[in-house]
Structure 1
Amino acid sequence: MISTSSPFTAELAPCGHVVDGRRHQENDDAGLLIDDRVYACGCRVIRHEYHDGSVRIKTIRHDGKVLADEHSGNHEA
């Protein structure tokens, strides 16, 4: 599994504020991709692409409210 973590600056968070944050990505070279963005305000966007090509994206505002939890394909999460 390949894992990288890097900072980002001045991106629009799910709450509407432009803030810095950190992005963590993992890839197993067999089709599993994980992309996790954590914003300085506390918001978070988690994207998983599974081996079967299905995708799940969960968007969470800094107060814990889930703004979106989207699933595509056949994966049951």
Structure 2
Amino acid sequence: MTRTHLTQERAPCGRVVDGDRSQEDDFEGLRFDDTQYACGCRRTRHEFHDGSLRIRTIRHDGKVLLDEHSGDHEA
């Protein structure tokens, strides 16, 4: 797993804040990329072994701005 501290990134709510990004890859098709912003917003991108993808963007107040699924995987 790789963790990176971000500075002055634009969060989904539009604020420019710091954040932390975690990336994990098993090099066989499973990849997780999660970013948590200081304001509380969150962005996730998960790719699964079967090729499906789930992308979610959640604003700091809990409102889901984006929730996309591809393929047959139920997350």
- TM-score, normalised on structure 1? 0.90
Deviates more, 1:24-33 or 1:67-76: 67-76
**Residue 74 (structure 2) aligned to one of 67, 70, 76:** 76
Structure 1 residues 13-65: Cα deviation after superposition (integer angstroms, max 9, x where no partner)? 11011111000011111110000000010000011001111110011100111
Structure 2: gaps of 5 or more residues: none
Q: CA deviation at 1:73?
A: 2.0
Match of 1:5 in 2: 3
**Residue 57 (structure 2) aligned to one of 56, 59, 66:** 59
Coordinate RMSD, CA, aligned: 0.9
Match of 2:33 in 1: 35
Shift >4 Å, 4+ stretches: none
d(CA) in 1 for partners of 2:72, 2:8: 35
Q: Between Structure 1 and Structure 2, how many residues are aligned? A: 75
